[in-house]
Structure 1
């Protein structure tokens, strides 16, 4: 069996990283710090010096005798440097170890990457979320990050340096406080990473146990005071920590993201998660959501899947076409599944949903009624390109399915073409669609971050109706996405409950380009495939390559959740979820297109990992009803409003989680739609 050092060295060499001229790390010029705390007293700080001890070994010593001995071992592998820190307690101690590594780059010129949490300077994020608007130096707990890594990038010189935690965290412990100096109640393996401005120079910052500076992020748009944790070591106990530091070159930030993902994937080597649930079993259990959530009390029939309580999953009067409700897509899934499995009642209810939306589901201006709360007698009068697009997407699948069964719906077809033609009027000269607008098509939010969501139904409409104008509109969106989103590596504001850097913008952009490859040929198709791949790496950077440890008593850890394959959401909403829809199929396409087994390998990780929290009797995973797949999975020291790490928020939206998993386990659907013409 390979040693971890050999694995990491091999990972570095296989990653294709363009090397700088020399390794990025010098243990003598690095700054080492030790903090010791006696409970009930403020910590005492010690600056350490690296004293050579031969053969790549060093002693870290202070100006006075310390109650623990610290050894440092450094070894080189090309432009990767492995750093191992060994601590041996001579007396009972509560300690915190820190290291600061100068990059040699001017801080004011640098951009930074902490995958799944920090992109460039997080300047798309509003006040109240971590960004350069608050401070220019940040360190965070490793479990916030999809890869426990930080990279400092100098765009002027095209160089970067990164640090990756290499010993595998496998345990965590609770603390009684979340700010200031805190003592963990048992064993933790969580450290921290980040970047700091030291006299105008950018530095990598990392250590153990965790700390967060200058602020901690505790819930949506809520910054809290900093926190620094202390681990107890008894006299005679030892602890070994490991990091790997890599220097390399990247032409731009997009290439940095790709190189970091490829390196991290090879280094962490995520494997599929072993679960007993086949795709057929997943659909069998998830289909129970269709029957239990069905609401027929109002003019619109729907599956209730928005703002439900995890404690009872009781249906309410809220119907949402897209985003977190996905009423029409769930109706199509229920119709198809019900008819395939002889469940006439399920199929009839699904058909009733479509009939009710044909009769009552449109505004006076001809838009889909996006979000209606019948219980309160309210509905939105501000509409979004994302929800409208997701509604059309589901309707085109429904119409295609019905046509293949010999059923035509001319009224629906007219409704869909009228809606598409109205939305096309919103498209700007640059190819973008506004994020939000009124029923009269007056623009409320002109931001183009959601444009990619419109590409999918436009390409589908071209294939279904044979109207070239829809393809031309889709191609104009692709031009905008290429110029303003993908080329600039600026993926933002696709999700509707946040306005920041987010996973869904890159995922939608990648999927949009994938759709265009299905209806084009030659050089044009090759261009879309390349853009699809470039956007896919940004989406991949949000997905966890490692398993976050949980403390005993935190439900997700107690039921054995492995976080690899799950995606963080956004800078604002710092939790993981099962938002994938067709992205795994996109990865499989890219793997075949470019001969890259890493992409199909990680697709398998996603496929298996997202099956873990399937709720059924005896295995409800913290929700009240079978089939209601959980949503806000809180995996780090952050909560959406309730409960914190290891639990869900008390309110969730299974409407979209069921729809996402259904598409994940229907990989043939898209190709079948486009190949039938």
Structure 2
């Protein structure tokens, strides 16, 4: 039975039916006093305490990965796989006086030293390593340091979550609690705690609680928020949630999130404002008109919406070589220019790529960033000599792709090839015996300054595609060594270090580069799709392992999709996002540190589409379609559209209370936001299953 059940050899326990919480967070448990079995293995639990009565109707167990909400489903055999119960909880105020109170649902697991917490998009294990330079909520057993945002107990509002759910595991099995964003008591919440007996407690709150402090994007937290509902005598409210019983595999969350995604997909119209060709035309114009500067040729990272008030003072006079500007986006503009015959776009794109390729560090790599005031610098890293691996590797990959594209049209760029080869040579020199390619390098010597995190995984697709283009199997062998070297991070479900500004903490961007890396290796070692750009025919040797790469590609894709919203957040109609009807399903939380939606997932759209085609996995295809669909909203269709200018695309959509108020839109156009949407649209034009009728 659900109250106290042995699952996978471990203990899953509801310690009480529901707890009634007050302003101080004191929880008065409503113990189970009555229990009635229902056909198929369900039950009805009842109890009363603290002036309230409660009744929970618990459904029979159903397979988590089976058809959602199928009343005719056969109950699974014990231990046959992950199972789920739907719980409908009705609470009534029985006392003669009104009271302000909230509800807490709690699920306890067995003792463990590592609960493996997962709140999709929001909390991953300890959530940040101790040496991480960014400060945001971190889990540490037996710790209570609210000012430092380190604690063993946390609670969050539901709209911070890509899926409002909390997962944990003990030594024998795992479980999850899942609910919706809103309830009859207001915005819902999720929580986690490891008590003195080292038993993970998974929690849901109605309404939400944020404690011990509130993270709002700053290193200085705000006081806890504990909204309560005012109950009138005889008032009755009903909330619902699901309990998922899993095995102890850290990857067991995937079946639950697939089921949620499937369940919430029904009767949902597309969100996009414009079709794919129009989005490509708009973003190409936006890059060229608002971000391109010819002297020297750069793509400025940001352009302010408000040109009259701010003018160029509102624009960031800087360009990264990869990541938030530079080669990925110049490559996209070049590809669009070739397709549409725009000579002006092509001249701008090649000028930017020339400028980047012609300016290498003494070590032989790209610089990290160009700025109008200081020229070429290392970027946003704290050490003035420290270059970030992901920025360099992404620049190398997309310059290589631009070179291949140009050669296909009969034009060569020897300077581009030299720059690609020079960067790859530094990466090869940096690779250690375990396959690690380094996360940071000295700009003058190329010496590896750090191997922490998985930023070096970004080199893998560049190595694979260079092996094909240059006919050099040693590059593929290095990519395979790296793929094996970073595999433990994928299996640990904790990838970190991809963005320059968030070190040693998990981000959605770590998921994107893992998908790109392992899909490239899969296509190299199992070239069943000859159109895939990562295919390296004839070089698969003894080290080839397509089954390993397929497993790691799927694990990476599943982990990446934990950041993707499965539902549409409810916005006030008075806000910008509410007024325009912004739909959040398909958008990604940037990271637990940067809690806003962003479009960077479009960088791996071609890889996700090819992985979906190779595996026949409809979940991957639909999630990728929704990602492209989501960010064809808020592309300025004309001057004045949402106070922007034609072709401008914002970086941040505030779906929760972090940095700005929920429902606001960052009023800056970003080169990468326009550039990656352009890149994805150009790719999707060759992939009609991503943008045709569903």
Aligned ranges 1:361-510 → 2 under 5 Å:
361-375=359-373, 379-380=377-378, 381-439=385-443, 440-482=445-487, 484-499=488-503, 500-510=505-515
- Could you tell me which runs of 5 or more consecutive residues in structure 2 were left unpaired when the two chains were aligned: 1-5, 63-82, 141-149, 379-384, 528-543, 688-694
Question: Does residue 628 of structure 1 match 2:626?
Answer: no
Question: What SS is found at the alignment partner of 1:413?
Answer: helix
Greater relative contact order, per chain length (Cα 8 Å cut-off, separation 6+)? 1
Match of 2:34 among 39, 52, 70: 52
Deviation at 1:105, TM superposition (A): 0.8
Question: What SS is found at the alignment partner of 2:186?
Answer: coil
Given that 2:354 and 2:416 are in contact with CA atoms closer than 8 Å, whether structure 1 keeps it comes out as no
Deviation at 1:465, TM superposition (A): 1.0
Tell me the equivalent position of 1:169. 182
Q: Take 1:310 and 1:478, find their aligned partners in 2: how far apart are those partners?
A: 42
- Residues 15-42 of structure 1: CA distance to partner in whole angstroms, max 9, x if unpaired? xxx964899565xx425332467xxxx8
Q: Take 2:438 and 2:460, find their aligned partners in 1: how far apart are those partners?
A: 13
Tell me the equivalent position of 2:71. none
Tell me the equivalent position of 1:321. 321
Deviation at 1:486, TM superposition (A): 1.8
Question: What SS is found at the alignment partner of 1:519?
Answer: helix
Given that 2:17 and 2:47 are in contact with CA atoms closer than 8 Å, whether structure 1 keeps it comes out as no
Match of 1:77 among 37, 44, 61: 61
Given that 1:272 and 1:606 are in contact with CA atoms closer than 8 Å, whether structure 2 keeps it comes out as no
Tell me the equivalent position of 1:345. 344
Given that 2:54 and 2:89 are in contact with CA atoms closer than 8 Å, whether structure 1 keeps it comes out as yes
Aligned ranges 1:111-150 → 2 under 5 Å:
111-124=116-129, 126=132, 128-133=135-140, 134-150=150-166
Tell me the equivalent position of 1:173. none
- Residues 157-200 of structure 1: CA distance to partner in whole angstroms, max 9, x if unpaired? 1x01211115x638xxxxxxxxxxxxxxxx87311112223441
Deviation at 1:369, TM superposition (A): 2.5
Q: Take 1:605 and 1:294, find their aligned partners in 2: how far apart are those partners?
A: 27
Question: Does residue 576 of structure 1 match 2:604?
Answer: no
Given that 2:20 and 2:103 are in contact with CA atoms closer than 8 Å, whether structure 1 keeps it comes out as yes
- Residues 208-233 of structure 1: CA distance to partner in whole angstroms, max 9, x if unpaired? 11101222211143433321112346
Question: What SS is found at the alignment partner of 1:363?
Answer: coil
Match of 1:30 among 2, 11, 16: 16
Q: Take 1:668 and 1:82, find their aligned partners in 2: how far apart are those partners?
A: 38
- Residues 246-272 of structure 1: CA distance to partner in whole angstroms, max 9, x if unpaired? 21213x31x223233233323433756
Aligned ranges 1:131-210 → 2 under 5 Å:
131-133=138-140, 134-154=150-170, 156-157=171-172, 159-166=173-180, 169=182, 189-200=186-197, 201-210=199-208
- TM-score normalised over the length of structure 2: 0.81
Q: Take 2:103 and 2:515, find their aligned partners in 1: how far apart are those partners?
A: 39
Tell me the equivalent position of 1:292. 289
Question: What SS is found at the alignment partner of 1:280?
Answer: helix
Q: Take 2:99 and 2:671, find their aligned partners in 1: how far apart are those partners?
A: 47
Tell me the equivalent position of 2:145. none
Match of 2:524 among 511, 519, 523: 519
Structure 1 residues 552, 92: closer, same or farther in 2, change over 3 A? Answer: farther
Structure 1 residues 94, 503: closer, same or farther in 2, change over 3 A? Answer: farther
Range with bigger deviation, 558-567 or 121-130: 121-130
Deviation at 1:112, TM superposition (A): 1.6
Match of 1:62 among 35, 43, 49: 49
Tell me the equivalent position of 2:540. none
Q: Take 2:323 and 2:482, find their aligned partners in 1: how far apart are those partners?
A: 20
Tell me the equivalent position of 1:256. 252
Structure 1 residues 242, 389: closer, same or farther in 2, change over 3 A? Answer: same
- Residues 351-396 of structure 1: CA distance to partner in whole angstroms, max 9, x if unpaired? 322333344x223333222212113557334212211112222221
Match of 1:304 among 300, 306, 321: 300
Question: What SS is found at the alignment partner of 2:253?
Answer: helix
Structure 1 residues 536, 103: closer, same or farther in 2, change over 3 A? Answer: same
Q: Take 2:238 and 2:608, find their aligned partners in 1: how far apart are those partners?
A: 37
Structure 1 residues 618, 232: closer, same or farther in 2, change over 3 A? Answer: farther
Aligned ranges 1:499-578 → 2 under 5 Å:
499=503, 500-521=505-526, 524-578=545-599
- Residues 518-577 of structure 1: CA distance to partner in whole angstroms, max 9, x if unpaired? 222387223212211111111011111112222343322222111111111222222221
What is the aligned residue count? 614
Given that 1:36 and 1:94 are in contact with CA atoms closer than 8 Å, whether structure 2 keeps it comes out as no
Given that 1:432 and 1:448 are in contact with CA atoms closer than 8 Å, whether structure 2 keeps it comes out as no
- Residues 127-169 of structure 1: CA distance to partner in whole angstroms, max 9, x if unpaired? 7321124111222111111111112211x21x01211115x63
Given that 2:589 and 2:596 are in contact with CA atoms closer than 8 Å, whether structure 1 keeps it comes out as yes
CA RMSD of aligned residues (A): 3.1
Q: Take 2:291 and 2:128, find their aligned partners in 1: how far apart are those partners?
A: 42
Q: Take 2:545 and 2:611, find their aligned partners in 1: how far apart are those partners?
A: 16
Deviation at 1:434, TM superposition (A): 1.8
- Could you tell me which runs of 5 or more consecutive residues in structure 1 were left unpaired when the two chains were aligned: 1-17, 171-186, 672-677
Question: What SS is found at the alignment partner of 2:225?
Answer: strand
Question: Does residue 648 of structure 1 match 2:665?
Answer: yes
Question: What SS is found at the alignment partner of 1:580?
Answer: helix
Range with bigger deviation, 100-109 or 499-508: 100-109
Structure 1 residues 94, 147: closer, same or farther in 2, change over 3 A? Answer: farther
